[in-house]
Structure 1
């Protein structure tokens, strides 16, 4: 969801594709893509090293000297840089094409010596801002491609920097890839939980007094839930495929951790489905409450109209211009000494009688 309010406003997702007839694997940069920057993290069981604003030369210098290398590329504007990264790590050109053409459906592809995972990532939890994240990993490397700055990987970086014993520094590249994918999955919990709290608050307000702005909030929340559903269901399939694979660079013990992330994704899907059902119910309840309130207003107005109808009739009759001296049938009440208070009393008796009748019929 593009940066906006807390209920999930988002910009329309535009999928970029190569020109019709272009050769497979053709990389074409998005004119709006951010400038590419590299962050190189070198990992061994004993130590680690992080190089910000790294260069290709630094990557070539350290690539073969460390047990695990994590290269994080932020921004997809520099096609030559992305192609060079693909050459160094022997990444498949079709996968690199999916990297620069953002808006891909979450998936996993296995190649001879590496895997390619595409997911939707929340890079700004407070703004609910999504982007595509591409993860390559093989025997001794992990390469991530992000569209822009901002990601949920800070806990992973802190774990890499933690003192020994440190599983992230000792279990290999597949475990590091698991940690990154798990961080992406877990980043969905805060916005879903925040939306659930907002839904509960709106429900409490509706039960007291329904307002028009609540309907707008409910529709925006349901739209946000649909976006989450569109990201989470393919994520589940992706994680299930990672668990079922039999490639050599994903160890059996790492599959156990991937299975835990799959459980997280299933839990997220359940939360989103429950939230969507609740939102649908609240929208229907809001419509019902609004209709009931309208019916109550119409009922009260009808009762008031019925009460005033005989009074208006009497006032209209007595307000006509009669001459009682011309005939005894020509409105003799006009000459009555207490005619005015008697008329008011009579009309009051009629009004009170109608109100008592309505209460007896339980219409009031």
Structure 2
């Protein structure tokens, strides 16, 4: 707070910064692990394309030096260390800055910010923590056969990295949909209150994913519409395909959210129906026992038939007790038959 624009302030919880440098030519490539600034200055001018991957954002001095080597805008670097930015695309004279979010922990639904710079001859990615969906891209880069990643330049490599992030959301959506189907099947067989808690959590996650995909879609749309000279028209064709994937993810996330909302409403309806069924059963049982209780109460009063013939003379009947039980059973059976005739049972 109060620092001048472009000032980099590291998060106290940020991980230690480590650099990985991938040097790319049309016919070959090399990788330098635990790279340093000297490696950058030594190799960048000798290779037509370099990909610098920085994992961990604790070393702001190192990030500032990287910005000076590649001429990165200081405000963009400030957004790199201030994580929690919404997905966006910004364009400068000689490079672009793209922020995307990816799922770092599918179980806990923890998001991680990926900041990406690309310009003529370089691509730079900044990650908060170790672990990313870039392995397919790395395998294509080191493949022995010629491929577009080694021949089409920095804008195509940036597209491939962004596309890998976007595609990593599809298994997450499929897994969430499968879990929702499981909850639905269990709910139809036996509704339970813990299912509502699961559905509310899934709806929250779907809503968060929907908002993330909307911002990512807008960022990709900005890349497709950009007239920056370092984004070639043929690369925009591929970016447009990734944009279609983002549109599909928005629709899937929206569908997932609507599905969980519908299941929550259905659970409430099932619970209410179950409650009504229980209340109806209790009401019927009470309706049957009310006249029986009345009869028992009448016969249980302290009358003395020797005092007067009106003092319940049937109290001295030889079969009075079984007769009373049979009479009460007939009353109960008659009430059940009446309820069924009225289709209340």
| TM superposition score category, shorter chain reference | over 0.9
1:126 Cα offset (Å): 4.4
Which has the higher mean CA deviation after the structures are superposed, 209-218 or 155-164? 155-164
Q: Counterparts in 2 of 1:93-108, with a 5 A limit?
A: 93-108=74-89
Equivalent residues in 2 for 1:1-364, closer than 5 Å:
19-20=1-2, 22-364=3-345
SS at match of 2:125: strand
Two-structure CA RMSD over aligned residues (Å): 1.0
Q: Deviations over 1:88-120 (max 9, x none)?
A: 110000100110111111111111110000111
Per-residue CA shift, 1:281-329, capped at 9, x if unaligned? Answer: 1111111111111111111000000100011111111112221111111
Checking the alignment, whether the CA contact within 8 Å between 2:109 and 2:205 is kept in structure 1 is no
CA distance in 2: counterparts of 1:45 and 1:138, whole angstroms: 18
**Contact map agreement 1:43 1:68 (CA 8 A) in 2:** yes
Task: For residues 214-243 of structure 1, give each alpha carbon's deviation from its aligned partner in whole angstroms, at most 9, with x where no partner exists.
Answer: 100110001001110121001111101101
Q: Give CA deviations for 1:170-221 in whole Å, capped at 9, x if unaligned.
A: 1111111000000111111111111111111212222222110110011000
What's the CA shift for 1:129?
2.3
Q: Distance in 1 between matches of 2:108 and 2:140?
A: 26
Contact 1:123–1:152, Cα closer than 8 Å, also in 2: no
Give the stretch that moved more between structures: 299-308 or 323-332: 323-332
C-alpha displacement at 1:165, in angstroms? Answer: 2.2
After TM superposition, which residue ranges in structure 1, 4 or more long, deviate above 6 angstroms?
Answer: none
Are the counterparts in 1 of residues 101 and 212 from structure 2 also a CA contact under 8 Å?
A: yes
Name the SS for the 1:73 alignment partner: strand
Distance in 1 between the 2:128 and 2:239 partners? Answer: 25
Gapped runs of 5+ residues in structure 1?
A: 1-18
Q: Report the CA distance between 1:123 and its aligned residue.
A: 2.5
* CA displacement, residues 122-178 of structure 1 (integer Å, 9 cap, x when unaligned): 123344321111000001000000111111111111111222122111111111100
Runs of at least 5 residues in structure 2 that lack an aligned partner in the other structure: none
1:31 Cα deviation from its structure 2 partner: 0.8
Q: Take 1:268 and 1:235, find their aligned partners in 2: how far apart are those partners?
A: 10
Secondary structure of the corresponding residue to residue 247 of structure 1: coil
